[in-house]
Structure formats: structure tokens, C-alpha cells
Amino acid sequence: MSFEIAGLTPEQNNLFPQHIPHTTFFGGIQYNCETLKDGLDVAMEFKRLLKIDKMKVLYGGIEYV
């Protein structure tokens, strides 16, 4: 499954866990996981690194709010 997190600054892109294969694009990250649970676990880990309180799971991506 492919996941995308958009609306990020270049500094936030650099904080994405390097042990997870990913592609960086202007304003976001795209990564692949085997299952939805794995993909959401990655998003939660990244959310904690960014010290963001809330996130929305959208069709086609994840948005931190």
C-alpha cells in the first residue's frame, strides 16, 4: 500500500524515519507498507517526531492538523 503525507516543510521531510524506504517530494513524503496498520504506525511514529497533536486519515493520504 502506498501512503502520502503532504503539507510538510523541507525540515519536516528530513525528520522522516530513514529506516523506512520513502520518496521525498516538494512538501511531502510517499512511502509503501504491506498493510494499512503498518502504514498508520509509520504515520503515528512520524507524528510523534514532529510533535503534532492530531492527524486526519484521508482517502489518498494523511494530514496532520
Which pLDDT tens digit goes with each residue over 30-60? 999 999 899 999 999 999 999 988 877 777 6
Identify which of 5, 51, 12 has the alpha carbon closest to the alpha carbon of residue 28. 5
**Strand ranges across the sheet with 28-32:** 22-25, 28-32, 2-6, 61-64, 55-58
Q: Which helix (H) or strand (E) holds 10?
A: helix 10-14
State pTM to two decimals. Answer: 0.80
pLDDT surpassing 90 at residue 6: no
Q: Quick one: CA dihedral 3, 11, 51, 65, positive or negative?
A: negative
Calpha distance 34→8 (Å, rounded): 24
Mean pLDDT, the chain, whole residue set: 88
